[in-house]
Structures are given as structure tokens and as C-alpha cells.
A and B are shown apart, each in its own frame.
Chain A
Amino acid sequence: MSKIIKLKRGLDINLLGEAEKKITRLPLAESYGVVPSDFEGVTPKLLVKVDDVVKAGSPLFFDKNRPEVIFTSPVSGKVTAVNRGEKRKILDIVVAADAEQVYENFQIKPLESASKEDVTGILLASGLWPFIIQRPYGIIADSAGTPKSIFISGFDSAPLAPDMNFALEGEYDNLQKGIDVLKKLTDGKIHLSLKAGTNGVLNKLTGVEQHLFEGPHPAGNVGVQIHHIDPVNKGEAVWTVDIQNVAIIGHLFNTGKVDMTKIYAVTGSEVENPQYVAAISCAPISSLISKTAIKSQPEGGSVRYISGNVLTGKKVEEDGYVGFYGNQITVIPEGDKYEFLGWAMPRMKEFSVSRSYFSWLMPHKKYVLDTNLHGGHRPFVVTGLFEKYVPMDIYPMYLLKAILAGDIDKMENLGIYEIVEEDLALCEFVDPSKTDIQQIVREGINLMIKELN
């Protein structure tokens, strides 16, 4: 067994509402919505019209810039709506699910004789290719390229994140198959990072190089793991796949069918009984957590639904859909309330990394945190803070300033290739100047893509 990589920097935010370890299998929802904005940098071109009948795994749209990358329907049924926003931007494509699901059948060659092109072809055709994310930039991988290695994070360290060993308990065959499939795509290694001290289905996987990580969030971020195992340099690319999606890829190669069923952790302080559910990807939020399962709010209060975790997730409306990449739903109270002299108060119920508050005295307390910004936007003032929450050899403040200045050379030199938004999400959380750091990072990455291609 490899040695444990110990990370000191980072932060675990203890929140109330961890999912209880039981899985409820949900019945089919009425309709499913694929949201193109889940896919970074993709301009959708429709392949279906309203009233078209689709199977699970049938194409819905493709990327205008890379026509080979197609996106498929998670369920079989009828396309009932294509909702558009400003400038006719496609917001979502809604498919009403059949009671009896029919699957597109993909012809799978035995893996032993399959070439990289065969595997790539099936992943592209089935719409599972978008599961493969490329670093740098955190965008869907280039199907013509070959990565120097592929990284899989076997645990999620974000607040209230699902326990992957538990969620994937019965998925050994699919996981192993998925890994065998991924092995076809690279000449290098498949790296699987696990949390030190855990033992479960993921520890049994073979054909991968296992790494053990110890430490607070963001130890589970694949970007942090890459940095410590085999960092991305200029001109190189590695690919990453979410561990749940490895199982879905494996399932496709085992059965020839696209089954987008995933395990979601339904979490957050406002959920009555937080637990795990099994549901098909792109399901409506309301099917995962009904309104009655939300704790009653004080007068004038409301809740926020987040597809994902509180640091990096996407805000979704009550009638929205679970994101394509999501494996967690979090429901927390909205913080749209005034607080009299709040900045001068002891704020015993709030959480802060600053010792000017008292939460450091209660390391095991589980907090109910709302969405209040707790202050106004200011220029950067405090220094030396961000570094404590980025376990990489990177100067976050300098990188952010390089991005703000649009200085391509500096961004490159300071490590833009090694990070995506989630890696600096904790900086955004702790920043007393309330800077929108994740947005700055994405703008920087988009600028790099634009300038270098």
C-alpha cells in the first residue's frame, strides 16, 4: 500500500443535516430535465424537437464547437419542452418519462480486443463522454487527445458530501469494468485516491494505483490530489472522472445500456430526514425532496435548494432539476434578513475561521448556516489567509490578481492549469472581503482557453 499523503491545510465545515446511511430507491419521476449550462463551455445544438420520442441514451443535443460530443436523454419518453431564456439560450430540455423504460442498445466489443477508438466511440455515442473531464480547465475532455494519466477521487470531502464507499456498495462489478474501460484511454496510470482509514468497495478495485489522503477538505478534490501525485504542467493534460460516473460507464460496458441511476445524498439543515436516495440523473429536485420533507420555516423565511454542496453547488429553483454531475442535494435557509450591529456581536450560532468569533472553541458543534453574505464586497485587504485553505504550492492571491489583470503569462506561471473553481471555494468562504473567487477563477480559465486556442 502506498504511503499516506497528509494534508494540513484546509477546513472541514461542520454542518447540520448529514445524510443517514440508508438508501431509498425512488420511483420514476414524471419528467427529467437536461440543463446545458451544467456543461462548462458547451454551446448546445438541438437534435430533437418537442414531441419527439426518445430512449434512454438517445441524443438530445450536441456541442456546436465539438460536434462529436453529444448529450443523451437519461430516460425514455417524449420531449415535452425546450425552455429558452434570453437570446434564445436553451435553459433545459424536458423529457416526460415512460412508465416502462426502453434503452438504446449499444454494441459493446469485448474489452480485450477493443481499441481506444472503439471505447471512445461508444462513450461519445452513449452520451457518457461528458463524464470525462480534462485538466487543465475542467472542461469535457478532447476525445482525440490522450491524457498522461486519469485521476479518480474515491471520496468527497465537501460539507455533508456523500460517503462514496457506502453509496457504491453494490457496484463493484460496474466500477471495476469502468476502470478497465478508462485504462483503454490512456497510456499512463489510473490513479484512485482514497481517504486514509476507510475500507470499502473502493479499496478492492484493481488495475489502479491507489493513493491514500488524510486531512480536511479539499483533500477529496481531484485537483488537490493531482497536485500531490502527478501535477499538470503546461502542455499536459490529465483526465478526471467522478467515481459514481465510473460505475455508470462500467454499467454501459457490462450491459450495453445507459442507466443514469445514481445515489444522491439529500442533506442540509432544513431537510427533515436527511438520507441517501437512488434516482436517475437530471430528475426534478421535487422528486428527491418533496416540500413536506423540508422543515417549516419562520415567518418570511425561505430555503435555498443547492444541487451539490454548499461550497461549489449550483442554486436551483424548487421546480428545477438535479445537475448532470451532481451527487448531492443540500437545502439550507436563505439569509435574507438584517442583523442589528451583527459585525460587533459575538455571533455564537455562526461559524467563522476567525478567532474574533468563538466557533473555534466548539470544534464539534454542527452549524446551521444560511446564505447571508455577512458583509459587503471590498478590495483584498487581509493577506496570508487564503494560503491556509489551499493545500497546494500555489499563491492564491497572486493567481487571482493575475486573473483580474488578465495577465496570461502570470496566470500560467502561478498555476492556473492546476486549479478549477472548487479548489479555491474555501478561500471564497473565508474571505472577509467577500470576493466572488470561483467566478474569477472560471473567467481566468475561460480567458486561457480563448487566448491559447
Chain B
Amino acid sequence: MKGLRNYIDKIKPNFEKGGKFGALHSTFEAFETFLFVPNTVTKKGAHIRDCNDMKRVMIIVVLALIPALLFGMYNVGLQHFRAVGDTVAAGAIMQCFWFGFLKVLPIIVVSYVVGLAIEFAFAQSRGHEVNEGFLVSGMLIPLVMPVDVPLWMVAVATAFAVIIGKEVFGGTGMNVFNPALLARAFIFFAYTPYISGEKVWIAGLSKGVGIVDGFSGATPLTNASESVITGEAINWGGTSPIDWFLGFIPGSIGETSTLAILIGAAILLYTGVASWRIMVSVFAGGYLMGLLFNLIGANAYMEIPAYYHLLLGGFAFGAVFMATDPVTSAQTNKGKVIYGLMIGAIAVLIRVVNPGYPEGMMLSILFMNALAPLIDHYVVQANIRRRNKRLSVAK
């Protein structure tokens, strides 16, 4: 590694201020610190520091996303071959995976290239170091997209999320809304047909070539919300809760397998990177809301067992990877519990009561992102009141 280090030291002056490539200083620094943890020593304050840093935190999240990503790729292939009626291919794991890999990879590449380019440009213009936040966002964005989403749309949505969602607030750590969800919300509202309905969740289905007659690409969530409109019993399209748990259903790329997501959750909780308070309380909130609807029981959707909600759609993915984003969630421990409960409850509320939005999780999290500072405000105010009370007691 000495040779590489020497080479970097040799070319480094070119990227310093006033050097030949001074305009690429932040970019160079990002790559340099990626390869080598810098030799910076503590100058102020504590002389020793924990070896944990932002890169480590972010890479753990990316690692936790891998199971969902790998399964998602496999499932893209599986769903496609089922749609075209190719049972032989649908049974071959590697063939399914390879098909999905080729479909998903371009989305990941587009998301990272567009997002990182914008991050690098902003870091450079501000004279900052490049922040690692997008390493996670860049992976989250493809996982919440339907596989047939046009690539240019991914690019536009990513750019919107990074610029309007993050950089205008000052970059990672300052943003109000979860950037990855913002990208999804952008497509959802700007190009609704490409991210809702029955056609988009399975590769090739929207083009309709070679599809088995009468094949429906509807997700179980769509099935459920349709029953509200038609007033009939829910037709789950032949899928069962065990399919939802394992993930053999249509849906956004990374959201279908609750099992794969729970493996990620285990990594996040074990390393302490994500807040268990948020994760647990989102599931609790959703479950309790499901129970509440059971009590009301006004239609078929309200009557489904409460745990169905936790397995369906993006609930688990949102609870594990989106709601726990430390920047956009509540920051106090009490606040986190309230925030989580509300996300879970509102997500189920939107799903059941408003069939226009079959997937309530995204809107619920974004809504609570906006409310998180308010929750924290009240928690902190309680602390202030305790302190003031002490004062009046002392007098």
C-alpha cells in the first residue's frame, strides 16, 4: 500500500487550492479519505477519539441493505418469469437473479452517479469535505423503485431529492425529509402511472409482450385497496402471508421480503446504528392501528389480521431503513417512541381509509419527518420545565 500512498502524495499538490485541478479538491479528498483514513491528529479537546466515523456508520447501513437488495434482484427475475409463464426459468435461482441483476444494476448506477455528482459539486462549491450520507441514499432509492421505472425518471427524482431535499438545507445532517423517500414521492406525484397500479411492479409487464393471459401484476396492497372500492372480499391474488413474509410477491425492488429486511434490521440493531426505539415503535404503531381497525371492522380491509399490515408493501422496509434515518427522525429518546408509533399508525390509517394511496408508508414517514422537530420540541420543553421547577422549589 506504500506505493499507492506515495502516488497519492505525489499527485496531491495538483488538487490543492491553486493547483492544476484545484476545482476538484473535494472530489480528490473524497477518494483519498476513502482509500486512506487521514493522518489528522486531534488538536482540540479530547486527545483520543473513538475509531468510529461517518464512513463506518454509513457502510454498515449499506451492508444491512444487501440482503434486501440481493433478494430484490432475485425476485425481479422470479416475478418476470412467472408473468411470461416460463416456469422452468422461474425455478432456476441463478437465472432469476441474473435477470434481476441486469434490471436493477442500471437503476443503482443512475442513482449513485447522479446523486454523487451533485454531492461532489456542492461540496466543492462550499469548500467542504464530501459527506457520506448519499452512500446510503443512493442505495435506498433503487430499492424503493418499481423495477420498470424509466431510468431518466430515477435521474430526475434523485436530482430533485438531493438538491431540493438536502442541499438547499445545507447538506447531510441538515435535511428535513428523508432524501430517498423524497425521490420516490417525487415520482409518485409527478409521474404517478409509473409507480402505481398493476403494471409497473414486474419487469416487462407494462410493455405487455409475452405476458400470460389474465396475469395480474397487482401487489397484495393493490388487491386490498381495490376491495374497499368494490366492497367485495379481498382477492389476495393467490398469495399468502408466508409469501409476503418471504417476499415472493410483486412490489418495489427491495421492499417485498420482510425476512431479508429483518436480517438488515438485525445488523442495524446489533451494531446500534439504527434506533431500536424507532424500529420497534413503528411496528407497534402499525399493529395497534390494525387492531383498532379490526374493532371497527367496517369493510373487508379493516378486518384483515393486524399483522398482515406489517408484512405488506413497504411497511417493514420503511420501519427498518427509512424511519430510522437519524437526521430526519426525532432525536430525543421519548420523541423517537412517539415518532415511531405515529408512523406505524398513520401508515395503516392511510392504507385502509384512503384507497387512492395503497402504500401509506412513504407518506406517513414523510409526514412524520415534518413533525419530528415538533415532537422533540415538546420533549425538550419538558426538560426545561423540570429545570425551572427545580429553581422555584429551591427558592
Please, how many angstroms separate the alpha-carbon atoms of A330 and B47 in the complex? 10
Structural contact, A343 and B37, CB atoms closer than 8 A: yes
Of A68-76, A203-211, A373-381, the one contacting chain B is: A373-381
Max chain B CB contacts within 10 Å: which of A356, A372, A425, A431?
A356
Of A163-171, A231-239, A288-296, the one contacting chain B is: A231-239
Contact residues, B17-58 vs A (CB, 8 A):
33-42, 44-57
Interface residues of chain A: helix, strand, loop or mixed (majority)? loop
Contacting residue for B54 out of A387, A433, A439, CB 8 A: A433
Output the nearest chain A residue to B42 by Cβ-Cβ distance.
Answer: A371
Please, how many angstroms separate the alpha-carbon atoms of A350 and B52 in the complex? 10
Asked if A65 CB lies within 8 Å of chain B CBs, one says no
Structural contact, B46 and A310, CB atoms closer than 8 A: yes
Per-residue B-contact encoding for A312-326, CB less than 8 Å = 1, 0 else: 110100000000000
Structural contact, A339 and B46, CB atoms closer than 8 A: no
**CB neighbours of B131 from chain A (8 A):** 378-379
Contacting residue for A439 out of B5, B45, B47, B49, CB 8 A: B45
Per-residue A-contact encoding for B194-229, CB less than 8 Å = 1, 0 else: 000000000000000000000000000000000000
Given contacts A356-B273, A438-B45, A439-B44, contact A347 B38 (CB under 8 A): no
Shortest A101–chain B CB gap in Å is 34
**CB neighbours of A398 from chain B (8 A):** 331, 376, 380
Asked if B133 CB lies within 8 Å of chain A CBs, one says yes
Of B91-99, B153-161, B295-303, B384-392, the one contacting chain A is: B384-392
Structural contact, B391 and A434, CB atoms closer than 8 A: no
Contacting residue for A437 out of B45, B174, B326, CB 8 A: B45
Shortest B10–chain A CB gap in Å is 14
Structural contact, B57 and A432, CB atoms closer than 8 A: yes
A-B contact count (CB 8 A): 209
Contact residues, A361-407 vs B (CB, 8 A):
369-384, 387, 393-395, 397-398
**CB neighbours of A397 from chain B (8 A):** 331
Structural contact, B56 and A371, CB atoms closer than 8 A: no
Contacting residue for A381 out of B33, B327, B336, CB 8 A: B327
Structural contact, A372 and B41, CB atoms closer than 8 A: yes
Please, how many angstroms separate the alpha-carbon atoms of A414 and B388 in the complex? 10
Contact residues, B354-395 vs A (CB, 8 A):
376, 380, 383-384, 386-388, 390-391, 394
Structural contact, A356 and B41, CB atoms closer than 8 A: no
Asked if A180 CB lies within 8 Å of chain B CBs, one says no
Max chain B CB contacts within 10 Å: which of A354, A357, A384, A439?
A384
Please, how many angstroms separate the alpha-carbon atoms of A432 and B271 in the complex? 14
Asked if B60 CB lies within 8 Å of chain A CBs, one says yes
Shortest A151–chain B CB gap in Å is 16
Given contacts A338-B38, A384-B333, A425-B46, contact A374 B51 (CB under 8 A): yes
Please, how many angstroms separate the alpha-carbon atoms of A384 and B336 in the complex? 9
Please, how many angstroms separate the alpha-carbon atoms of A315 and B41 in the complex? 12
Output the nearest chain A residue to B336 by Cβ-Cβ distance.
Answer: A384
**CB neighbours of A306 from chain B (8 A):** 47
Structural contact, B331 and A336, CB atoms closer than 8 A: no
Given contacts A338-B37, A354-B52, contact A377 B129 (CB under 8 A): yes
Shortest A428–chain B CB gap in Å is 5
Structural contact, B173 and A381, CB atoms closer than 8 A: yes
**CB neighbours of A429 from chain B (8 A):** 46, 48-50
**CB neighbours of A434 from chain B (8 A):** 49, 53
Question: Can you list 12 contacts pairing A with B, beta carbon distance less than 8 Å?
Answer: A304-B41, A334-B41, A338-B37, A347-B51, A351-B50, A351-B51, A355-B271, A381-B173, A383-B329, A415-B387, A432-B53, A434-B49
Residues of B at the A interface (CB closer than 8 Å) are: 1, 4-5, 33-42, 44-57, 59-60, 129, 131-133, 170-174, 270-273, 275, 277, 326-327, 329, 331-333, 336, 376, 380, 383-384, 386-388, 390-391, 394
